[in-house]
Amino acid sequence: MTTGAPAQTVHFDQKHYTAVVSGAKVSTVRWREDIHEGPAIFIFDNHPTARPLAGQVTAVETYDLAHLSPLAARQPPGTDMTNFARQLRVNYYPEMPEDAVVQVVVIATDHHGDSSLPTT
């Protein structure tokens, strides 16, 4: 990772704000997004009060969607991964094919106090 690299922007649905801020959500599964390890700004689309959060993408792992396991996706054991893939299509990627290659993006927010960026 290059020191001083500009932060990439990673967008989340507003419903994930609390889980990301609390550290309960540590990963996200993405299709056809250019996300890489390094500094990141997490944006919560359409959230009425959430400010952008400074954080890091700590890992990006690539999997065939058809073989994505709960462990690899950082989901609870026993998660129905067929339904998980269906929900990715319904909620985020309607054109994602059955044979898609997806990335599991591991994230961390900058910690200690308010990790929000100042508004400009």
pLDDT in tens, 63-108: 999 999 999 999 999 999 999 999 999 999 999 999 999 999 999 9
The SS3 assignment for 84 reads helix
Q: What is the pLDDT confidence band of residue 116, given thresholds at 50, 70 and 90? A: very low
Residue found under tokens 């994230």: 107
Q: Judge whether 51 and 114 are in contact, CB under 8 Å.
A: no
Whether 114 maps to a domain, the answer reads no
Number of domains within the chain: 1
CATH number of the domain within which 88 lies: 2.30.130.30
pLDDT score, position 3: 55
Whether 118 maps to a domain, the answer reads no
Whether 2 maps to a domain, the answer reads no
Whether 77 maps to a domain, the answer reads yes
Is residue 117 pLDDT above 50, yes or no?
no
pLDDT score, position 120: 34
Q: What is the pLDDT confidence band of residue 5, given thresholds at 50, 70 and 90? A: confident
Whether 16 maps to a domain, the answer reads yes
Name the maximum alpha-carbon separation found in the chain: 44
Q: Judge whether 107 and 43 are in contact, CB under 8 Å.
A: no
Q: Judge whether 73 and 27 are in contact, CB under 8 Å.
A: yes
Whether 115 maps to a domain, the answer reads no
pLDDT score, position 39: 96
Ramachandran category for residue 112: left, alpha or beta (phi over 0 → left; psi -120 to 50 → alpha): left
Q: 116: exposed, middle or buried (C-beta count within 10 Å: 0-12, 13-18, 19+)?
A: middle
Whether 66 maps to a domain, the answer reads yes
Is residue 2 pLDDT above 80, yes or no?
no
Q: Judge whether 60 and 98 are in contact, CB under 8 Å.
A: no
Whether 90 maps to a domain, the answer reads yes
pLDDT in tens, 20-62: 999 999 999 999 999 999 999 999 998 888 899 999 999 999 9
Instruction: Identify the domain containing residue 66 by its residue range.
Output: 8-109
CB atoms within 10 A of CB 88: 20
